[in-house]
């Protein structure tokens, strides 16, 4: 494998990180919104979110990206591969993040909610001052775990032609007729990125225990 091939794999890694990062930045808050809709028992919408989560959690990333990339243009606007990739990862991870945020909300100590109500806090103030500061800490380790799952499913976006790590590796393999070395380097790149997240998860687990654990 030449230095040029190695550089194009690194560029692929950049693309994987960019698209995964976009999916995380969009999917984590979207998951929180979905979780709040279900937690707040919003009529009709809550049920829709429940169905959405169940559906999205069982759809393979490959199938979903093919659906978005090929079907959206037939009923709506043209969609490029990178946009399709970000939309797919966001929709997918939001469903899992919704369940993580919801578990945190369901485990939230009821006495604190009652106390804040007794102090006459508005729901918004209660969320901002009481719930969220504790919720994000307890949800962070499982959220980071979901980020590693997102990166592990990101090779799916190669099927619509996004040149990320996997696509770069198959391309080099096709040019050199020797697919194994670029695949091994690509795997090492993935392992390094995912290990970074696993390390982060362990650190956050140690720093932030369960809600109310220190109390």
Partner 1 sequence: MSRDFGIVWDHADLLVEGLINTVILSLAGAALALMLGALLAILLMSRNRAVRIPFRGMVDLMRCVPFLMLAYLVYYGLPSFGLNLDNWSAGMFTIVIYNTAYMAEIFRSVWSRLGRESLEAATAFGFQGPRLYIRIIFPQIFLASGPLLGNQLIQIIKDSAFLTIIAVPELTHAASSIQAQYFVPFAAFIVAVLIYWALCLLVEAGVFVVERAAEARR
Which residues within the stretch 148-177 sit at the binding site for partner 1 (CB under 8 A)?
148, 151-156, 158-159, 166, 169-170, 173
Stretch that binds partner 1, among 18-26, 61-69, 120-128, 207-215 (CB under 8 A): 61-69
Which residues within the stretch 178-207 sit at the binding site for partner 1 (CB under 8 A)?
179-180, 183-184, 186-187, 190-191, 194-195, 198
Give the alpha-carbon dihedral of 21, 23, 24, 29, to 10 degrees: 140
Which residues within the stretch 70-109 sit at the binding site for partner 1 (CB under 8 A)?
70-71, 74-75
With b for 16 or more beta-carbon neighbours within 10 A and e for fewer, the 127-145 pattern comes to beebbeebbebbbbbbbbb
Residue nearer to partner 1 on the CB measure, 98 or 130: 98
CB of 101 to partner 1, least distance (A): 18
48 in contact with partner 1 (CB under 8 A): no
Q: How far is CA 84 from CA 17, 20, 72, in A?
A: 16, 12, 9
Sign of CA dihedral 51, 135, 86, 42: positive
63 in contact with partner 1 (CB under 8 A): yes
The residues of the shown chain that bind partner 1, judged by CB under 8 A, are 54-55, 57-64, 66-67, 70-71, 74-75, 148, 151-156, 158-159, 166, 169-170, 173, 179-180, 183-184, 186-187, 190-191, 194-195, 198
């Amino acid at each position: 494998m030449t230095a040029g091939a190695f550089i194009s794999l690194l560029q692929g890694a950049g693309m994987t990180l960019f698209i995964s990062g976009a999916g995380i930045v969009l999917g984590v808050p979207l998951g929180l919104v979905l979780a709040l809709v279900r937690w707040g028992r919003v009529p009709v919408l809550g049920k829709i979110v429940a169905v959405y989560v169940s559906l999205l959690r069982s759809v393979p990333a490959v199938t979903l990206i093919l659906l978005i990339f090929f079907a959206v243009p037939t009923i709506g606007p043209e969609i490029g591969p990178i946009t399709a990739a970000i939309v797919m990862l966001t929709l997918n991870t939001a469903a899992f993040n919704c369940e993580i945020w919801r578990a945190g909300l369901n485990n939230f100590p009821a006495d604190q909610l009652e106390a804040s109500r007794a102090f006459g806090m508005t729901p918004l103030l209660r969320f901002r001052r009481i719930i969220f500061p504790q919720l994000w800490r307890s949800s962070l380790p499982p959220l980071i775990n979901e980020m590693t799952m997102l990166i592990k499913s990101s090779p799916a976006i190669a099927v619509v032609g996004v040149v990320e790590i996997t696509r770069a590796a198959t391309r080099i393999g096709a040019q050199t007729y020797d697919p194994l070395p670029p695949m091994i380097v690509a795997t090492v790149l993935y392992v390094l990125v995912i290990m970074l997240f696993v390390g982060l998860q362990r650190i956050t687990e140690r720093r932030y225990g369960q809600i109310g654990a220190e109390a």
